[in-house]
Structure 1
Amino acid sequence: MNQPYRTIIIDDELLARERLLKLTANFPQCFNVIASAKNGTDAKEKINSLKPELIFLDIEMPGLTGFELLEQLDSMPMVIFCTAFDQYALQAFETHSIDYLVKPVRLERLEKTVNKLIKLNGNHNSQKLLEAIKEMSAEKEAKKMTSITVRKGEKLFFIKLEDVLYFEADAKYSCIYTNTEKYLTELSLTQLETKLPDFFLRVQRGIIINMDYVENVQKYFNSRYVITLKNKQKTSITTGRSYKDAIKSWMGV
């Protein structure tokens, strides 16, 4: 490796981007950070224009996920995945990506990535990574669920997803709200997000809504919106700033 890799850091969390920028500064022989991006849309523009050789890529982002971003790129850089969720087993990506790091990334763990990069010396084909992502996307599409099973006492109930107004994070689990009941599922919002059909949208870190139950959307300050649902309570949900692109895309504005 004669020159450091021209690198872009992609993460929707400012603190995560700043942390990676600080950590990569310890390895100037390996990383030349030329830009950072706060979401998939921003990243796509910067990658296609700046043509980095390497990217640090968050998986869970509003709008375009890390995987969806890679599927839309004109050319593939080398990829180091970053995720806060180690339940992404990512075995396919262990071999096809340079590495994957569980957040918060630690200096000693990044050092192992650097050693791997030095050994590779630029000899890495990212095309197989793209093929693995497309294969995973096809499998995910085939496994979209239509109902969710919940337990109340000794009984199991099957809730049709078309009857669910929204999901709300509850520690490691999620609450399910219908027009008449509230249930608890052991699935986290992140797990649900990979399984739910397209009429569900994550509008903040702690809530996924059923878009078919939206009555109206009003602009709020700081690039946020207030969404009112069509239930008796007229539930009002304030969206997160980092989800504005996904929400605008859904509204077609």
Structure 2
Amino acid sequence: MKPASALIADDEPLLRERLRSHLAALWPALTVIGDARNGAEALELFELHQPDIVFLDIRMPGINGIATARALARRAQLVFVTAYDQYALQAFEQGAIDYLVKPVDPARLADTVQRLQRQLAAPLRPGQGLEDGLDHVLEQLASRLGQRAAPPAWLQWIKASVGSSVRLIPVEQVRYLRAEEKYTLVAWDEGEALIRKSIKELGEELDPARFVQTHRSVIVNLAYVSVVTRGINETAELHLRGSADTLPVSRSYLHHFRQM
């Protein structure tokens, strides 16, 4: 089994350092790939490194821990780190997500480490263990903490290979996406790249208020559309600002641009 890796997300620097130190003592083989101060940083680091475990503070500025957990969508083992009392912690009774109470007690953390090691050594079948009832627990936790149950966070970055490096492209810099056989071409402010993700998958992950499909093979960032030229047979052509690029609009998607 490959060495396990983890990400720590908390807006308190001292807590991040103490948790890292305790983990180093309790689980020397664990690699902590980085620290995040908020949910946005946590999601960026997760997409870049794909750690096995994420330690998440519930209350963080911007994207909170609950919304971050939803965005991770069961792709990692989750451990919430919380300062809340037992009333709030009742949401964890199902065991779908582990938790630690601030300040972190090394003995309690040792129990969590053992549980995580067991989970990683014997991969779970769908619907068991830490993943069981995740959505329900997040709903309960949000309710008990007086927060609205956050919807899944839209995609914030697209990971792409550019030359010999891997780039995290902020979605706000993406001009358009175009299907290219088994790949999708991502055109953004600094260039182009091919990724192994379909237009359909990307369309489900992008904020529909910012990105719309114009053709079965094209998605455009509305912020970059400068001119819409109507064509024949209920079609159109999009002209993008700061570029000579044009994109087709088929009749099935023309309704997105009738008011432009």
Using structure 1 for the length normalisation, give the TM-score: 0.49
Higher Rg: 2
